[in-house]
Amino acid sequence: MWLVVALSSYFLSAGVHVADKFLLSKKFHSSVVYAFYVGIWSVFNVVLLVLAPWMPSPKEFLIDVAVGILFLITLIFWYKALHQSEATRVIPIVGALTPIFSLLLSVIFLGETLNQRQLLAFVILISGGVLISVKQTKLYLINKVIMRVRYILGTIFGEPHARYRPVRRMIINSLISAALFACFYVSMKYIYMTQPFIGGFVWSRLGTFIGTLLILLVPKWRFLIKKRHKETSTPVNFAFFLSVRFLASVAFILFNLAISLGNVSLVNALQGTQYLFLIFLVILLSTKFPKILKEELGRGVLLQKFIGVMLVSLGLYVLVQ
């Protein structure tokens, strides 16, 4: 059950990420502003309480609000990294590290463990996801890779090469967002272990809404939000944004449902399927955006991605056996 729900979530998330990148690059140009507009809609999740009314205790309420605010902070770093570089560069970093961080945190704080079969599936799924998402890499040029990393990250005693400073910022924001995503997912799993699903989900979303209101307390951010609102509040932009947010909400609910039903680290390890869906999306859009298809399926990359698809398929097979 949780596997089908998780795959459905990743299918919808693939399209949402493409739309988020477009909106960040062409419309909002600010991770804080975009996170504000994403988070402000969290208040409408309260209608779900009609299906299962539930009131948390004071302690549960504080936990839900704190986790909701954590999610908003995570979104800011995620959108910042996504805005600073191509989605095909950011998503692999975050997607590969989040399940690893989730596994460590879930073992430490939730006592979750993976049996040998699940651990094997975990490794295979992450390996396949990396091969699908990254561009072709000549692994034998190890010295060149080491030098490139040194240029990007710098050394203990000096700054990185000026050419790679934007890349370093993207990598740092991606690492932070991956760690925060893992903390959020593990925290939500804890909430679902102690609270009903709909109740815990809704009250944590209200925490995100409270966080968006706190953003307005910062004059600089408040000014940017007002400015972008005037520039982007056309009917077409508003309708497109609402459509994207609706799909994102459905995907987010399905993802949280998968977390509540299954293992946090395994759900995150299925990130590779999201990259697979992205490839299919690129193929569908190739007639209108041929440069995207050329980037994803250039010479030598197709075989690498095919191997990645096979690994993801193998990982899913091992997981369901």
Cα separation, 76 vs 307, whole angstroms: 33
> What is the reported pLDDT for 162?
47
**What DSSP letter does each residue of 188-253 carry, written as one string?**
HHHHHHHS-HHHHHHHHHHHHHHHHHHHTTSHHHHHHHHHHHHHH-SHHHHHHHHHHHHHHHHHHH
The pLDDT tens digits for 56-71 are: 999 999 999 999 999 9
What are the tokens at 313?
């398929």
Residue pair 70/187 in contact (Cβ under 8 Å)? The answer is yes
CB atoms within 10 A of CB 220: 8
Q: What angle do CA 281, 287, 291 make, to 5 degrees?
A: 80
**What DSSP letter does each residue of 22-79 carry, written as one string?**
HHIIIII--HHHHHHHHHHGGGGGGGGGGTS-----HHHHHHHHHHHHHHHHHHHHHH
What are the tokens at 36?
């504000």
Q: Closest Cα to residue 10, out of 319, 281, 201?
A: 281
> What is the reported pLDDT for 142?
45
> What is the reported pLDDT for 59?
95
Cα separation, 76 vs 39, whole angstroms: 10
> What is the reported pLDDT for 254?
92
> What is the reported pLDDT for 148?
52
> What is the reported pLDDT for 154?
55
What are the tokens at 206?
């209200």
Number of domains in the chain: 1
> What is the reported pLDDT for 174?
84
Domain span including residue 83: 2-320
Cα separation, 84 vs 166, whole angstroms: 7
> What is the reported pLDDT for 140?
40
Cα separation, 216 vs 222, whole angstroms: 5
pTM (predicted TM-score)? 0.79
Q: Closest Cα to residue 208, out of 13, 73, 108?
A: 73
List, for the chain, all residue ranges whose pLDDT scores fall below the cut of 50. Answer: 138-142, 145, 155-157, 160-164, 292-296
245-255 burial, b at 16+ Cβ within 10 Å, e below that, comes to beebbebbbbb
Residue pair 17/87 in contact (Cβ under 8 Å)? The answer is yes
